[in-house]
Chain A
Amino acid sequence: MFYREAGQFKSTYAADMAVFPIRQDRIGIAVILLLAFVGVPLIGNDFFTSTVMIPFLVFSLAAIGLNILTGYTGLISLGTAAFMGVGAYAAYKLTTFFPGVNIIVLVLVSGLFSAAIGVLFGLPSLRIKGFYLAVATLAAQFFLQWAFVRVPWLFNYNASGAIEVPQRLFFGIPVTGASASPETRYFVCLVLVVVLTWFASNLVHGKLGRSWMAVRDMDIAAELMGIKLLNAKLLAFAVSSFYAGVAGAMMIFFWYGGGEAADVFNIRLSFNILFMVIIGGLGSLIGSFFGAAFIASLPTILKFGLPALGVPLSGATAEHVTFMLVGALIIVFLIVEPHGLARLWQIGKQKLRTWPFPY
């Protein structure tokens, strides 16, 4: 009834090509942004902000990165965590080399390093396809993770092998380091994520995005349309790794706050991000957010939420139940809608449009 596009006519192509052509959608986005910028800091406590919201943002960004590669370009990667790691270590090294430069700039620059490494490991993608390509990215995953432990230069020769996050100020407010408040860190992450999401959205809706999707859907035909496969694929690797790198840097600087970084960027994380992308919806930016919420935040919420609701479970049992529940939910969601939560969302909107009729 209320969700209708009737009466909204588009008289220009520009309006028709907008990312959210329907007014209600635009209002929805505005509300969400308002909630994110004002609502969360107002109502959320520290615990919520730092263990649910910040991880959610970090993972969303990483998932967007992987979605560009896997969802839009059709290249499966199991090395996302390693590329995130490159971002994190690059940012760490950059802070030691350029202590004076603004930390946010450094975080963004570190993405470039990750992009370069991503391109390197993307090279085999011209010849290797599908799950076979996964091995190339697995090589990246394990090699880089090894390097994070074995190359002491990367962690400034610290005896423990851990990296520390120094305190850095932004307009006089600490944004990294232990004294940065969760809200500040959350804001920084939020701004980065919003801006980068906007860029990603622009890219995937334009020529580049179309080339990527063409390569994904039918690479031979794409080549015959004049798209250079290698360029398109490598660019996808670059952009994707850039996002992963920034997410990795954010992860260490705004969330973990240092520590044992090598182990953080392990294969499990790579898998998890892939799953976020799949569950959220391949080839859908909004799906990346859904996926991140589902895979990263749901277990946390279950774990701390169930006892709060009075479900009397011991730590280990709760963990087991969480595992089973998440596993079962993954399967249920896939069965209900294999194209991910994003598609479910769309169908929901479609139903809303035809409501109260079934179709």
Chain B
Amino acid sequence: QDSVYFANNAYRTGPFSGSGIPIGDGMRDYITMINERDGGVNGVKIVYEECETGYDTKKSIECYEQAKSKNTIVYSPWSTGATLAAIPRAHIDKIPILSMAYGLSASADGTQFPWVFIPPFTYWDGASVMVKHMAAELGGMDKLKGKKLGLIHLDAPFGKEPIPVLENLAKKYGFELKIYPVAAADMQNQGSLWLSIRRDRPDYLYNQGWGAMNPTAVKEAIKNNFPINKLVGVWWAGGDDDARAGGEQAKGYKSLSWANAGTGFPVMQDILKHVVEKGKSTTPKDKVGEALYNRGVYNSMLVVEGIRNAQKLTGKKVVTAEDMRRGLESLNITEARLKEIGMDGFATPTSISCTDHSGHSKMFVAQWDGAKWIKGSDWIEPLKDEVRPLIETNAKDYAEKAGNWPKRTESCEKSS
């Protein structure tokens, strides 16, 4: 039978495995479901292979090389470090990178980064939504003046991503930005950081954290009597285990999100029916539908839809990496399409274009109700006008510094 090969990085080991495992489960199970239920995409099976990185950049490079040697149609790095390392290679090797809502924000500029896709939005969009959410709760953008926003972040490129946007917005709206870096070695040891937070008394905290850092932050917030509903995590700080660590008092903890949690969607039911209940997955049944799991599902959905689109554009059944790039670049997941694939209400429509590789889609604020994540706000649009120019200047800057950065050779698809 025809098949395409899809290499996915995973980290089911190492200090970040707590977050890596549910994501990996979601990704795998959706693909398995497509293969099981539909016999693949239009009859083409997806050969899905995980490469274990342990969230280690060195290993992720090995994984990239392996993916390349096996002609993957798309590469999914699953860490910002791995994405950064893969970007220059992928441009030469012509392998599309799908870094869903992580990675290099600037890579959303399709003219400079034709091979990188970062749907449905970037960290910069997330930061802008954080500010919008804060404003909404305070009663309007003008109320931001004189307020204090704190950013807790992992002291690594991933953690530092939101800083430029927040700095710009702070200047523009007159609020103060306080930055609290957490070294990787101190992820579980945030005592003094929270003391500083106590001193500075920020009105809101945005947590750009990952792995073991998140539950610790939640616990510390509770311990230090920081109002838990003023602590908002980036989507990766919105895992079930992250919130659960805080116990009763974590109720009200927020995080940004774009994919709803729970199993109440047809697509989730299909996964349960075709995969989990048939014993084709290692995921425990009660973990299906957790926040991070569902984002894994969403990611795989993007891959599948990308393949489908590529097949449509090229008329081929078995698509190549270059076809896949075309498929992703004109990906348009409409309301109707979401419904077709059983994701009605699971996420909002998103579309990628030649210049805009992220879509800057809407997101919402999820809230922990003590047992699960629920949708805690309406869909919020990011401040695209703030984010987009920054993306373009940074993308240009990146290309310049790299020297001899390959120019975009693929013409933009006109269709769809």
Query: Within the complex, are A and B direct neighbours (CB within 8 Å)?
Result: yes
Residues of A near any B CB (own CB < 8 A): 45-47, 50-51, 55, 96, 99, 142, 146, 149-150, 156, 158-162, 164-168, 177-179, 255-260, 262-264, 266-267, 300, 303-304, 314-316, 318-320, 323
B residues 162-209 in Cβ contact with A at 8 Å: 163-164, 181, 183-185
With the chains together, A300 CA to B52 CA distance in Å?
A: 11
**Interface contact B52-A316, CB-CB below 8 Å:** yes
**Interface contact B58-A166, CB-CB below 8 Å:** no
With the chains together, A271 CA to B283 CA distance in Å?
A: 35
**Interface contact A178-B160, CB-CB below 8 Å:** no
Q: Pull 23 A–B residue pairs with CB atoms less than 8 Å apart, ordered by A.
A: A47-B69, A51-B61, A159-B394, A160-B80, A160-B160, A162-B157, A178-B92, A179-B92, A179-B404, A255-B61, A257-B89, A258-B85, A259-B57, A260-B57, A260-B84, A263-B81, A263-B157, A263-B184, A264-B57, A300-B62, A303-B62, A304-B66, A315-B10
Known: A162-B157, A263-B57. A47 touches B104 (CB 8 A): no
With the chains together, A205 CA to B161 CA distance in Å?
A: 50
Tell me the smallest distance from the CB of B182 to a CB of chain A, in Å.
11
Closest to B156 in A: A263
Q: Which residue in A177, A257, A304 is a CB contact (below 8 Å) of B85?
A: A257
Closest to B60 in A: A259
Known: A146-B183, A260-B81, A319-B52. A177 touches B156 (CB 8 A): no
**Interface contact A164-B52, CB-CB below 8 Å:** no
* Nearest 3 A/B pairs, CB to CB: A316-B12, A178-B88, A166-B403
Enumerate chain B residues within 8 angstroms of A161, measured Cβ to Cβ. Answer: 156-157, 160
With the chains together, A264 CA to B402 CA distance in Å?
A: 20
**Interface contact A47-B66, CB-CB below 8 Å:** yes
Tell me the smallest distance from the CB of B63 to a CB of chain A, in Å.
9
Q: Per-residue 0/1 for B59-94: is the Cβ within 8 Å of any A Cβ (1 yes, 0 no)?
A: 001100110110000000000110011001101100
Enumerate chain A residues within 8 angstroms of B401, measured Cβ to Cβ. Answer: 96, 156, 158, 164, 166
**Interface contact B65-A51, CB-CB below 8 Å:** yes
Q: Which residue in B13, B106, B398, B402 is a CB contact (below 8 Å) of A319?
A: B13
Q: Per-residue 0/1 for B89-103: is the Cβ within 8 Å of any A Cβ (1 yes, 0 no)?
A: 101100000000000
Tell me the smallest distance from the CB of A174 to a CB of chain B, in Å.
8
B270 at the interface (CB under 8 A from A): no
Enumerate chain B residues within 8 angstroms of A96, measured Cβ to Cβ. Answer: 401
B369 at the interface (CB under 8 A from A): no
Known: A257-B88, A315-B12, A319-B54. A164 touches B65 (CB 8 A): no
With the chains together, A355 CA to B157 CA distance in Å?
A: 58
**Interface contact A177-B57, CB-CB below 8 Å:** no
Residues of B near any A CB (own CB < 8 A): 10, 12-13, 49-52, 54, 57-58, 61-62, 65-66, 68-69, 80-81, 84-85, 88-89, 91-92, 104-106, 155-157, 160-161, 163-164, 181, 183-185, 282, 394, 397-398, 401-404, 406
Closest to B161 in A: A160
With the chains together, A303 CA to B56 CA distance in Å?
A: 14
With the chains together, A165 CA to B80 CA distance in Å?
A: 17
**Interface contact A164-B85, CB-CB below 8 Å:** no
Known: A159-B106, A164-B398. A50 touches B57 (CB 8 A): no
**Interface contact A258-B155, CB-CB below 8 Å:** no
Closest to A262 in B: B156
Closest to A95 in B: B403
Tell me the smallest distance from the CB of A290 to a CB of chain B, in Å.
20
**Interface contact B402-A177, CB-CB below 8 Å:** yes
Known: A50-B65, A319-B13, A319-B54. A259 touches B402 (CB 8 A): no
Known: A256-B85, A315-B52, A316-B12. A149 touches B58 (CB 8 A): no
Enumerate chain B residues within 8 angstroms of A256, measured Cβ to Cβ. Answer: 57-58, 61, 85
Tell me the smallest distance from the CB of A318 to a CB of chain B, in Å.
7
Enumerate chain B residues within 8 angstroms of A142, measured Cβ to Cβ. Answer: 185
**Interface contact A45-B69, CB-CB below 8 Å:** yes
Enumerate chain B residues within 8 angstroms of A259, measured Cβ to Cβ. Answer: 57, 81, 84-85
Enumerate chain B residues within 8 angstroms of A167, measured Cβ to Cβ. Answer: 402-404
Enumerate chain B residues within 8 angstroms of A50, measured Cβ to Cβ. Answer: 65
Tell me the smallest distance from the CB of A337 to a CB of chain B, in Å.
28
With the chains together, A96 CA to B49 CA distance in Å?
A: 39
Enumerate chain A residues within 8 angstroms of B69, measured Cβ to Cβ. Answer: 45-47
Tell me the smallest distance from the CB of A288 to a CB of chain B, in Å.
19
**Interface contact A304-B10, CB-CB below 8 Å:** no
Enumerate chain B residues within 8 angstroms of A159, measured Cβ to Cβ. Answer: 105-106, 160-161, 163-164, 394
Tell me the smallest distance from the CB of A46 to a CB of chain B, in Å.
7
Enumerate chain B residues within 8 angstroms of A323, measured Cβ to Cβ. Answer: 13
**Interface contact A51-B62, CB-CB below 8 Å:** yes
**Interface contact B157-A166, CB-CB below 8 Å:** no
Q: Which residue in B52, B54, B104, B403 is a CB contact (below 8 Å) of A177?
A: B403
Known: A260-B57, A266-B184, A320-B13. A160 touches B157 (CB 8 A): yes
Enumerate chain B residues within 8 angstroms of A164, measured Cβ to Cβ. Answer: 88, 398, 401-402
Enumerate chain A residues within 8 angstroms of B91, measured Cβ to Cβ. Answer: 178
**Interface contact A260-B402, CB-CB below 8 Å:** no
Closest to B104 in A: A160
Tell me the smallest distance from the CB of A103 to a CB of chain B, in Å.
11
Tell me the smallest distance from the CB of A292 to a CB of chain B, in Å.
13
Enumerate chain B residues within 8 angstroms of A262, measured Cβ to Cβ. Answer: 156
Enumerate chain B residues within 8 angstroms of A266, measured Cβ to Cβ. Answer: 184
With the chains together, A260 CA to B156 CA distance in Å?
A: 8
Tell me the smallest distance from the CB of B192 to a CB of chain A, in Å.
15
With the chains together, A341 CA to B107 CA distance in Å?
A: 46
Tell me the smallest distance from the CB of A323 to a CB of chain B, in Å.
8
Enumerate chain B residues within 8 angstroms of A46, measured Cβ to Cβ. Answer: 65, 68-69
Enumerate chain B residues within 8 angstroms of A160, measured Cβ to Cβ. Answer: 80, 84, 104-106, 157, 160-161
Tell me the smallest distance from the CB of A45 to a CB of chain B, in Å.
7
Enumerate chain B residues within 8 angstroms of A178, measured Cβ to Cβ. Answer: 88-89, 91-92, 406
With the chains together, A177 CA to B401 CA distance in Å?
A: 11
With the chains together, A42 CA to B106 CA distance in Å?
A: 39
Tell me the smallest distance from the CB of A301 to a CB of chain B, in Å.
10
Report which residue of A162, A264, A303 has the largest number of chain B beta carbons within 10 angstroms of its beta carbon. Answer: A162
Tell me the smallest distance from the CB of B278 to a CB of chain A, in Å.
17
Enumerate chain B residues within 8 angstroms of A304, measured Cβ to Cβ. Answer: 62, 66
